[in-house]
Chains A and B, each alone.
Chain A
Amino acid sequence: MDVERSDEALMLAYRDGDARAFELLYQRHRSRLYRWLTQQCGSASVAEELYQDIWLKVINARGAYEVSAKFTTWLYRIAHNRLVDHWRTGARTPATIVAGDCEDEDDPLDHVAGNAIDEPQNDVERKRLGEALVRGIEALPAPQRETFLLAQETEMTLEEIASVTGVNRETAKSRMRYALAKLREGLKDWR
């Protein structure tokens, strides 16, 4: 029964004092959020600190929670703001944060060969491809990385990603295109 309840319904139930609802909600999002943070920070310890802070913010904000958007959007907006605060403390240079926003350029995906990446034939190749992808994600500029990870870890739409990251749709779309292009370019010769 609880499994069928939406995130928003669970959060409202937790707001009304149902601790079990929060546990269900937490189980749904814990791994995704943690991975998203780990990929963003590059450090498990920092990711754990941010992860705990984010969930504590959710707990403390339960009293004022209203269903104005999807719970996922709300949760990741909190995470984004906490991550930006973390970046502002000097964990990452601002150049890294803002790099990659070149909306006026041509579609970066047009410059990537269409059949550059082939399917891995076995588990070893698959694992090597995964490791190469992680390295490519870490090499992305922060906004592009954040956008790509949001698209992968959540099932947000373009508007939701734009809302979470605080940019307009075109910017979010551009970031995603650049991220995909760079990852493809990096994985072109993974073999």
Chain B
Amino acid sequence: MSTRDRNAGGTADELPRDPLLARVYREQADAAGGPPPALDARILAAARAAAAEPRRPARPALPWWRRLVVPVSVTAVVVVSATLTLMVHEEQEKGAAQRDAPAPAAAPAVVPAPAPSSAPAPPQPMPAENAQSVREAVRPETRREQASKRTTTGESTAGDADLAAPRRPAVAGSMRGNAAAESATAAPASPPLPQAQGGIADQAPDAARIGAGRAPVGAAALPPASSAPAAPAAPMAPAPLPFPASRAPAPAGGAAGEAVERRSASPGAPAADAAAAAPLAKPQGGPQGEPAQGARFKSRANVAGEAERSEEAAAPLQEPRQDALRTPEEWIREIRELRRAGRETEWRAALARFRERYPDYGIPADLRN
């Protein structure tokens, strides 16, 4: 019998087979037998045990969208969480930057001394672009009238506070409506919009420049210059300094405003203060009132130039700067030493300056007479 007689090679679709080999294999396999009975018993026992278990109902096939619910939900939660985390982080960074930004501005802010009411406030040339924008925004005459009205009545508006608080004017101004608009026009030199539009990085330099040039002391503690009674004479005259930065600033338009009035009413302004006011409003010729108003419309560029000019005038500022940097206790101690040394004129002048600077500070009894 041939091994290739039938289907040996197989057709294209059939499995090659060899009947003789298959038969021999079958005979050999039958003799080999099957698995041991013990193995059969174990398997059958396992099968019966499995069949005896209560059959869990087969879960119906879920639609495709049900299968994606969990991963999509998890992904959404992760994305939202990450986004919120980033947003909070950015807000915190912004907040920290805003808190830090006034620091360089506040440091020089305490440096210049307040301008005396009698000191002339020379005009500051306003750049053409700023002047144009200001003219478009508001008529100065109207603003002056409103400012003088508020000054005479002792009224202080939120816009006034904005003048002295250049840090958050964008948001605050939008919330305050007309008052903010007034403040923006009445004090364009205060940088509400540029700060709001510019990044945090350029806020500090601007604030430093502004502080060096104009001394918006203690941010919100300062009343607007326009609210001072002697606005025409010294519109840029800064308010009396509150206690050093460690002390809580007086509310805008409150005690600080009163301090301005008191200082403005004081007849004898120290020469040092006058010198300090000089760089703030350099005489450029022209009437006193108009230049003073013009000086208030300083832009950033103008402020930068002013900062450079203020460096030139740094020397006259030394004494007021020392006054500002000293603590009241130190100052009082120095006054006592002057008095003890018999320098009558000097200690009285120093005491007068001290009273102007710290009107609310209790003068020791030994210096009152």
Binding site for B on A (CB under 8 A): 14, 16-19, 22-23, 26, 30-31, 34-35, 38, 48, 51-52, 55-56, 59-60, 62-63, 107, 109, 112, 114-120, 126, 129-131, 133-134, 137, 151-153, 156-158, 161, 172-173, 176-177, 180, 183-184, 187
Contacts and interface: CB of A to CB of B under 8 A. Distances in A.
Given A156-B15, A183-B21, 20 more contacts: A19-B47, A19-B51, A22-B44, A22-B47, A31-B33, A35-B32, A48-B35, A55-B43, A59-B43, A63-B56, A63-B58, A109-B4, A114-B4, A115-B2, A126-B27, A130-B27, A172-B15, A177-B9, A177-B16, A180-B8
B56 A117 contact: no
B3 interface: yes
A52 B26 CA distance: 23
A131 B31 CA distance: 11
B43 A107 contact: no
Given A17-B55, A23-B44, A133-B21, A62 B8 contact: no
B13 A22 contact: no
Contact of A26 (B13, B21, B44, B50): B44
Contacts of A157: 15
A158 B13 contact: yes
Contacts of B44: 22-23, 26
Interface residues of B, number: 42
B62 interface: no
Contacts of A107: 9
A116 B21 CA distance: 12
A133 B20 CA distance: 11
Nearest to A25: B47
A126 to B, nearest CB: 6
Contacts of A119: 1, 20
A152 B16 contact: no
